[in-house]
Structure 1
Amino acid sequence: MNRLKQYTIMNKALALLSLLFVFSFTSCEDVVNLDLDAGETKLVIDAEIIWKKGTTGNEQTIKISKTAPYYSTSTPKVSGAQVRVENSSGNVFTFNETEAGVYVCTDFVPVIGMEYKLFVQAEGQTFTASEKLTSVTPITKIEQALVPDFGGGEDVIEVTFYYNDPADQQNFYLTDYRSEFLIFPEYENTDDELYNGNEIKARYSHEDMMPGNTLDITHRGISKNFFNYMKLILDASNSNPFSVPPGNIRGNIVNTADSKNYAMGYFRLCEADVVSYLVK
């Protein structure tokens, strides 16, 4: 009788544990929205002047928005701002608003090595930033190979592009990859500390990359300061700058009247080589 009683107690205990186990799995399917405190709203100035090889570089775009709560599905656009860029020769390039938060200049003149200064007046505040236009060496060739998937899956396609690093200077590069199989671009930061003056090759692979896909490669020359800024972002977000880093990473855009009320973003000027590669 005692033995039967023990079995009954054990069976009830196992049943209870099984039930809790099932509940734990079903509860994982529920979406839990945490009640997060909203941080201070800040201006976001996306100011990349990018001179693509083979173009005049006369049309450039700067976007201005605001930070939004974590669960927000939209980004507040900032209209009515005054945006201009001046170069060290005194030339002024005005950016006019073409749609909410989008400011376009159609007569920009890019000059390698020249310093440019950004001026933004928005919502009663004035912001400035300075940077030089950095050159880039062109992509010389692109190769494709099938390589093992170290995760244990099927072999994956790997695309490799090459460029020659100048020997007489320290260089920094930022490359982004875009394709129909990517929701967001993927970025890679590179410097020439170990490869100065040599041919550099950059490899890219993705498990969803298939023959027939077009891989758009944008290879930029960037400044050392912007390289360090992007390194912080990519290290904090696992190479996806569109994810949320654990804290604010400040760029070079400052508020002229209140240093604490800075804008997010980085004013940078890059020459870039852009290649569209058809995956075989």
Structure 2
Amino acid sequence: MFKRLIYILLLLPMACIDPYEVGLETGEQLLTVEAVLTSVPGRQEVRLTRSDTYGSVFEGLIRPVRGATVVVRDDLGEVVFLEENLEDRGSYLTPADFATQPGRTYTLQIQTTDGKVYSSFPEKVEAVPEINSVGIETITIPVEGEENVRSGIQLIVDIQDPGDENNFYLWKNGPSIYVLETRPDLFTPRPSDTNPSRDPQPKDCCITCFRSEQLNNSGIFIANDDNFNGLNTRLVAGFVEDDGLRFVNTYRVDLRQISISQEAYRFLRLVKQQTEISGSVFDPPPANIRGNMINLENPEEVVLGYFIAGAETVRRIYVNKSQLTFAQPKSIIPDDCREVEGAQLDPPADWNP
């Protein structure tokens, strides 16, 4: 009993120590605006987030901006209010029939819940040339320290550039869908109390599905017509990586060609240059590149991102596995293909390879 009392007395001072609160510098929270609104009607997105300045201990931490009032105005005085997507906070959507019009000028305006008001500079929408055709080229990418290379397809556009104006282009990968092949005959459930065995339990269905996905662009694909004004030209406009699934059978992607302003082109060119830095000790450090958004009460505040308004044309391409000159080993999914996210058994109604 005496020993137990001594033990309790020794613990009492430890319980009285005040906890030490560590104070960390969070850095300035920078508003980031991502918006590309075009002439193709649909629910188009403006994404608002806050990120920290370069060098902050929380650098790279992205926080959605919720509850903001977001509107788009044109030069005729028409105002369109955007609605926040409650399932994806920080994402604000236009009405389903919204589309920009060539010749019109658009301005994005944002008011955050703390009362700050931001506005873009006006963006004029220029007409966009049609895409004559889209071709592919298989490329391989060596990976340092790896025996196997990465690979994929470059999308090559053929366009006739107008000769009476200076044109600036942005290309983005649109929705894609491909024939997904899996191995339900190799299905093995996870061990559990009711099923301790690790033996395969083949499923009867299904081997082949159609999987939809929206790929983020692996790079920035832009051009100006300084070197091909008024000429027919072919340009690299996109890239799709071979992940061992996409090109096993047939792959389809919609390539978006968007006209952008000269100012938007300059901004994207700077971002492209920065993201393509090799990473050597001689390279300049990353920097925050200011876009076309300003705080109306405090113009010195740094606002990241850019509001782009342009016209758009789309060209669809089907790619068969036989067109590739190099392919990754086929990835094995040991399950019913319908269990894969984005997959369905029937092809879309407009599937026409």
**Structure 1 residue identity aligned to 2:286:** P
For 1:98 and 1:126, how far apart are their aligned partners in 2?
A: 21
> 1:138 aligns to what?
130
For 1:206 and 1:87, how far apart are their aligned partners in 2?
A: 35
> 2:335 aligns to what?
none
Q: Does 1:104 align with 2:142?
A: no
Shift in Å at residue 166 of structure 1?
Answer: 0.5
Q: Is residue 115–residue 131 contact of structure 1 (8 Å, CA) maintained in 2?
A: yes
For 1:155 and 1:184, how far apart are their aligned partners in 2?
A: 15
Shift in Å at residue 70 of structure 1?
Answer: 6.9
SS in 2 for 1:232: helix
SS in 2 for 1:185: coil
> 2:258 aligns to what?
220
For 1:91 and 1:189, how far apart are their aligned partners in 2?
A: 30
SS in 1 for 2:172: strand
> 1:168 aligns to what?
164
* CA deviation map 1:65-97 (0-9, x unaligned): 111567678631111111111111111111122
For 1:248 and 1:95, how far apart are their aligned partners in 2?
A: 27
For 2:106 and 2:316, how far apart are their aligned partners in 1?
A: 29
Q: Is residue 159–residue 233 contact of structure 2 (8 Å, CA) maintained in 1?
A: yes
Shift in Å at residue 155 of structure 1?
Answer: 9.7
Residues 182 and 117 (structure 1 numbering): CA distance in 2 closer, same or farther, change over 3 Å? closer
* CA deviation map 1:159-193 (0-9, x unaligned): 42211101100001011346679665332110100
For 1:146 and 1:118, how far apart are their aligned partners in 2?
A: 39
For 2:152 and 2:294, how far apart are their aligned partners in 1?
A: 44
Q: Does 1:191 align with 2:224?
A: yes
Match of 1:271 among 288, 311, 317: 311
Q: Does 1:254 align with 2:294?
A: yes
**Structure 2 residue identity aligned to 1:270:** G
Residues 194 and 64 (structure 1 numbering): CA distance in 2 closer, same or farther, change over 3 Å? same
For 1:228 and 1:155, how far apart are their aligned partners in 2?
A: 29
Shift in Å at residue 261 of structure 1?
Answer: 1.8
Q: Is residue 84–residue 92 contact of structure 1 (8 Å, CA) maintained in 2?
A: yes
Root mean square deviation of aligned Cα = 3.3
For 1:213 and 1:47, how far apart are their aligned partners in 2?
A: 28
Please, which runs of 5 or more residues in structure 2 have no aligned partner? 1-23, 143-148, 177-212, 278-284, 321-353
Shift in Å at residue 150 of structure 1?
Answer: 9.1
Match of 1:83 among 44, 65, 70: 70
Residues 196 and 105 (structure 1 numbering): CA distance in 2 closer, same or farther, change over 3 Å? same
* CA deviation map 1:106-129 (0-9, x unaligned): 153521021112110013210001
Match of 1:127 among 100, 110, 118: 118
TM-score normalized by structure 2? 0.58
For 1:253 and 1:113, how far apart are their aligned partners in 2?
A: 21
Residues 71 and 198 (structure 1 numbering): CA distance in 2 closer, same or farther, change over 3 Å? same
Residues 207 and 173 (structure 1 numbering): CA distance in 2 closer, same or farther, change over 3 Å? same
For 1:272 and 1:247, how far apart are their aligned partners in 2?
A: 30
Q: Is residue 128–residue 313 contact of structure 2 (8 Å, CA) maintained in 1?
A: yes
